[in-house]
Amino acid sequence: MRLNDIIISTIATASVADAAKARRANCPNIHIFGARETTAPPGFGSASTVVDLVMNANDGATSESIVYPAAGGNEYASSVSSGILAVANQTNTFNQMCPDSKIVVVGYSQGAQIVDDAFCGGPDGTSLNTSMALVSTGVSEMVAAIILMGDPRHVNGLPYNVGNATAGGFAARPAGFQCPAFENIIQEYCDAADPFCAKGNSTATHQGYGREYGQAALQFVQSKLGASNNTKASASTSGGTNDVPASAAGRTRLGEGYMWMLLALGGLVL
């Protein structure tokens, strides 16, 4: 190899290594993924309550929504399939960018179903035909906590269940199901009156988990993050609600927090 070629090759290798270091240096300690419920507009939907609580409690935390149809009716099964893949793909992309960060995943209703399936596998009707988890090994190692609310896959008897539901959801796991790889970092919230995770008849119950269990979910997440050194005092709430509005300075979404970095790297993806 000619000296000039060696120099060019060395510079190129160093540039890639420097870009990777720069990218990792600007990664957050904590990143939250949120998956919305059926028919909710793009964004976090009802998962936003817990996403915001965790964001507000951890300095520098970032977040992004899972991008999937969240469709109902005849398109529900295909929407779940798309959502499962979106969870796997988006978390893996972040793992490749920021392998040293911790992630928290919050799913609500159909959003809980796709998170449940991505991490614990199926089968799930026509939506997923494998019992294996779809998330990568790297993601499995960086996930600190998983919050599921109103999950249609709910089944009685799981060690991470929270709430008074004993009936299964409309897409319930089979009796005896286990998710051993993640069961110690999952909290799944479901009450008996919920028509989607427990065959009840109260849609208000289904929509109320953020208010009812938001602080409990936050405490669970914080205990799993072990983030006492970079944890802010939780904002107090009035009237019993757990909704805490995030300040503009305190909310760093992925599109805002990383866009400059990707532009600086010329769109380089390793």
206 catalytically annotated: yes
- Distance in angstroms between the alpha carbons of the first and the last residue of the chain: 26
DSSP 191: -
Residue 185: count of CB within 10 angstroms of its CB: 19
CA distance linking residue 60 with residue 135, whole number of Å: 25
Rounded distance between C-alpha atoms, residue 198 and residue 206, angstroms: 10
Per annotation, catalytic residue among 81, 117, 154, 206: 206
How does pLDDT run along the chain (270 residues), one tens digit per residue? 565 665 555 555 544 444 455 456 789 999 999 999 999 999 999 999 999 999 999 999 999 999 999 999 999 999 999 999 999 999 999 999 999 999 999 999 999 999 999 999 999 999 999 999 999 999 999 999 999 999 999 999 999 999 999 999 999 999 999 999 999 999 999 999 999 999 999 999 999 999 999 999 999 999 999 943 444 444 333 333 333 333 333 334 454 333 333 333 333 333
**Regarding the domain with residue range 28-264, which homologous superfamily does it belong to in the CATH classification?**
Alpha/Beta hydrolase fold, catalytic domain (3.40.50.1820)
Active site residue 154: no
Query: Directed axis angle between helix 76-97 and helix 110-120, to 10°?
Result: 60
**Whether the Cβ atoms of residue 34 and residue 106 lie closer than 8 Å to each other:** yes
Choice among 65, 81, 82, 109 that is catalytic: 109
Specify the pTM: 0.79
